Amino acid sequence: MERLTTFEELRAYAGAAPRPLGLVPTMGAVHAGHMSLVERSSRECAATVATLFVNPAQFDDKGDFARYPRDAEGDLAALAAAGADAVFTPPEREVYPAGFATWVRMGGPALPLEGAARPGHFDGVATIVAKLLIGALPDAAYFGQKDGQQVAVVRRLVADLGLSVRVVAAPTVREADGLALSSRNGLLNAEQRRGAAALHRALQAGAAALGEGAGAAEAACRAVLAKEPQVSAVDYVALVDQATMAPWSGQGEAMLAAAVRVGSVRLIDNLLMSAD
């Protein structure tokens, strides 16, 4: 696996790589969910570039950025085992050099939910994703559906900037009890970890109540969360349109999304559904 640390090296690698080329952006703390994205890209593309960069611009809390788990050597080994042909690991000064002044400001699907709870978060996401897509010019970029709003934001970004890349959203990888794999799960103690499984159960309860309307689905989800003592706060529960993140109209594809705190650890998850 080739290691790239500058955008010049990334452009050179991508220019010489066989096509189609797949890109798998990550912030490290690589788990089986990330590895499944690399494995899928490796099946569908002739070459795969993964990225490892903990992006400070998408953290609204400096303490959260400092606590974010980091294991560079373990991450590199995991990405290589999953089949990545190259990995882009730029230092922060390469991504945001002195005098950096150009940001992608997202509207639309970036504004509610995570956008409201974490102002500026998706501007940071969109800026780094735009830089990676322009640098590598991949044919496909792979993201996990666990971050469903991020998928919608990236698709909007790609459409609005006229980028020629296919955005692939892969199904959420879960533990046996339904908890979505996340880099933050490792911050939970044993009791919190058991309680965190309530998030997926709550979403399932909401999905089961969808036939009674959006309000019933959201209420059913909240009811399950309210019964779990390890859930210290519910940031939001919302049934939204998959593409726009606007409240679901009752037509088309929907996403039931929730964000909770288990102790001090913030977890998000979602389920896709439709009225059919």
State how far the Cα of 178 lies from the Cα of 200, in Å rounded to an integer.
6
Marked catalytic residue, from 31, 34, 121, 200: 34
Largest CA distance in the chain: 55
- Could you tell me which residues come within 8 angstroms of residue 269 by beta carbon, excluding any fewer than 6 positions away? 146, 172, 180, 199, 200, 203, 257, 258
Q: How many whole angstroms from its chain centre is CA 96?
A: 21
Active site residue 34: yes
Residue type, 36: S
At which residue do the structure tokens 């990405």 appear? 79
Residue with the two structure tokens 């390469």: 94
184-207 core/surface letters (b: 16 or more CB in 10 A; e: else): bbebbeeebbebbbbbbbbbbbbb
- C-alpha 176/C-alpha 197 separation (Å) is 10
The residues that are catalytic are: 34
